[in-house]
Amino acid sequence: MKTRITEKLGIRHPIVQGGMQWVGTADLASAVSNAGGLGLLTALIYPDPEALGHEIDRLFSLTDQPVGVNLTLLPTLKPVPYMDYARMIVEKGVKIVETAGRSPEEFLPLFKEAGITVIHKCTSVRHALKAQKIGCDIVSVDGFECAGHPGEDDIPGLILLPLAADSLDIPILASGGFADGRGLAAALALGADGINMGTRFVATKEAPVHANIKKALVDADERQTALIFRTLHNTARIYKNTLADEIVALEKRGGVTIDELAPLVAGKRGEQALKDGDVNGGVWGASPVAGLIRDVPSVEALIRRIVEDAERIIRERLASFLS
């Protein structure tokens, strides 16, 4: 399967692993890249740029295939030295970077000088157009179905992707709600050049999370997510556990502040929950695509299955409708 994404990134299959908090380590990223997709390290799960540098070294020791680093630019309770992380990415010779959150414009001169391909994650067509204008090479278009931060427009991928395809000249990754070959075929039909998957990769053998978390995704249906921070206009989609219910109830009460929510949504609490397998112990991201997750395969088996199913759908099912 050849698309603008496979050609631009030098990968065999048009599948990119999302940059996920506490999940995007060298173990998962290398497995995705070795299976023919693009694996991404998540920069900010490492406490400082030096720690990220060590993990990049480890990633390069585990694969000789194209890999990248996700650098998410979001409001935080503690200031983050984003530029120092960016310089470490360049210093280590990474050639693909995915940015998300606010505009990456201030980092583009550094990345472009180093010959880095920049993917920017957007939740609206207007933001995707801005990313194209400032020089991003690829946009990852996130529908409302995505885990993490879906923006504030609540537009699903079925609408957002063809709108983006009509408006953009650069390649498009479809993100949010993808888990199988049907999703990949649909994304291509809607005008995307590949898919970005997060939640589905959590339920794989190589994902660095406890088996209880993977089982929770297998057991979940499509209703097992919650939207938090809606009242703060910084919406996040997470797995619907008892903690998520508590946060939603506080927001419905009205007048809640980020300082009140901070102890409940603390990143370290979420990290510990993923490591210990306490499904209700912290906040962790998941999308409604959990309803499509029914097993915990290896990354290689998952990617092979997705690509083979997508090819069969395109060649056989869709072609059968033409007289």
Q: Domain containing 15 — which CATH number? A: 3.20.20.70
- Confidence band for 295, pLDDT divided at 50, 70 and 90: very high
Cβ-contact 26, 52 below 8 angstroms = no
Do 196 and 118 share a structural domain?
A: yes
Cα distance between residue 144 and residue 71, in whole Å:
21
- Confidence band for 74, pLDDT divided at 50, 70 and 90: confident
Q: Pairing mode, if any, of strands 236-239 and 225-228?
A: antiparallel
Do 150 and 278 share a structural domain?
A: no
Do 245 and 307 share a structural domain?
A: no
Mean pLDDT of the chain: 96
Contacts of 8 (CB under 8 A, 6+ apart): 117, 137, 138, 171
Cβ-contact 139, 173 below 8 angstroms = yes
pLDDT score for 313: 97
Instruction: Flag whether pLDDT at 15 surpasses 80.
Output: yes
112 in a structural domain? yes
Cα distance between residue 131 and residue 124, in whole Å:
11
Alpha helices, H only, the chain: 4-9, 26-34, 49-62, 82-91, 108-113, 125-134, 157-167, 181-189, 199-202, 211-219, 242-253, 258-265, 267-276, 299-312
258 in a structural domain? yes
Range of the domain at 22: 4-209+298-321
**Biggest alpha carbon distance in the chain?**
62
Do 195 and 125 share a structural domain?
A: yes
Do 250 and 273 share a structural domain?
A: yes
Do 143 and 255 share a structural domain?
A: no
134 in a structural domain? yes
Q: Average pLDDT, stretch 194-213?
A: 98
CA distances from 241 to 59, 225, 247 (A): 32, 8, 10
Cα distance between residue 207 and residue 145, in whole Å:
21
Do 241 and 144 share a structural domain?
A: no
Do 238 and 129 share a structural domain?
A: no
Give per-residue pLDDT as tens, 229-260. 999 999 999 999 999 999 999 999 999 998 99
244 in a structural domain? yes
Do 312 and 172 share a structural domain?
A: yes
- Give phi and psi for 195, each to the nearest 5: -125, 150
pTM of the model: 0.96
- For the record, the structure tokens of 130 come out as 């801005």
Number of domains the chain contains: 2
- For the record, the structure tokens of 114 come out as 């180093």
pLDDT score for 26: 98
Do 126 and 69 share a structural domain?
A: yes
pLDDT score for 273: 97
Do 91 and 190 share a structural domain?
A: yes
